[in-house]
């Protein structure tokens, strides 16, 4: 089974370009995970599991909160209510309280990825709060940039099909005189 594409292909409500849009999202989201200092997971509805993890990315700017790979697995019961709410409301949902794993405190946000007025998937952001230090101004700015990009996904403004893809994506253009 192709974990990313099979559930999408089986979903009847997907229109032209929807799967490609999610591929663009996953192609760009390492940057978002790094800016957010958080793990990101992409959830998609599944008849047996409620939601299935299509993709996961770990930040290079912070340690991961997930040490085992869970792509292709069903959603944990503690995450399902926030993902359900984000899916149906088409708005960013934050966990009402800090969740605790065996070794750390986590803040979880669920962000619906909306295209053409339809929720296609939900991204969850998992940030470790167990560090006792105060975040720097730069870190707070980076987190705001990540939030802004994810908010653009909720509005269907990011990722953008008009942006070039390939190895130069996001790199400045060189102008020769």
Tens digit of each residue's pLDDT (9 = 90 or more) over 136-152:
999 999 999 999 999 99
Tens digit of each residue's pLDDT (9 = 90 or more) over 92-114:
999 876 666 656 788 999 999 99
Residue 10 has pLDDT above 80, yes or no: no
List of domains in the chain:
5-154 (3.30.450.280)
pLDDT of residue 59: 96
pLDDT confidence bin for 16, thresholds 50/70/90: confident
Tens digit of each residue's pLDDT (9 = 90 or more) over 120-138:
999 999 998 887 678 899 9
Query: Long-range contacts made by residues 50-54, C-beta under 8 angstroms, separation at least 24?
Result: 50/74, 50/75, 50/80, 50/84, 51/75, 51/80, 51/83, 51/122, 52/3, 52/7, 54/3, 54/4, 54/7, 54/8, 54/22, 54/26, 54/121
Rounded to whole angstroms, how far apart are CA atoms 77 and 102? 16
Tens digit of each residue's pLDDT (9 = 90 or more) over 167-177:
655 555 666 65
Residue 1 has pLDDT above 60, yes or no: no
Judge if pTM exceeds 0.75: yes
């Amino acid at each position: 089974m192709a974990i990313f594409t099979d559930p999408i292909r089986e979903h009847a409500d997907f229109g032209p370009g929807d799967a490609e849009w999610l591929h663009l999202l996953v192609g760009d989201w390492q940057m978002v995970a790094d800016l957010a200092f958080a793990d990101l997971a992409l959830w998609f509805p599944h008849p047996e599991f409620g939601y299935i993890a299509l993709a996961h990315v770990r930040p290079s700017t912070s340690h991961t909160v997930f040490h085992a790979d869970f792509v292709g697995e069903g959603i944990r019961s503690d995450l399902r209510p926030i993902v359900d709410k984000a899916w149906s409301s088409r708005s960013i949902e934050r966990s009402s309280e800090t969740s605790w794993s065996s070794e750390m405190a986590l803040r979880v946000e669920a962000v619906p990825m909306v295209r053409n007025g339809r929720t296609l998937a939900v991204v969850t952001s998992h940030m470790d709060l167990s560090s006792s230090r105060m975040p720097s101004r730069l870190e707070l700015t980076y987190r705001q940039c990540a939030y802004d990009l994810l908010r653009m996904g909720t509005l269907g403004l990011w990722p953008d099909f008009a942006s070039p893809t390939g190895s130069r994506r996001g790199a400045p253009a060189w102008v020769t005189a």
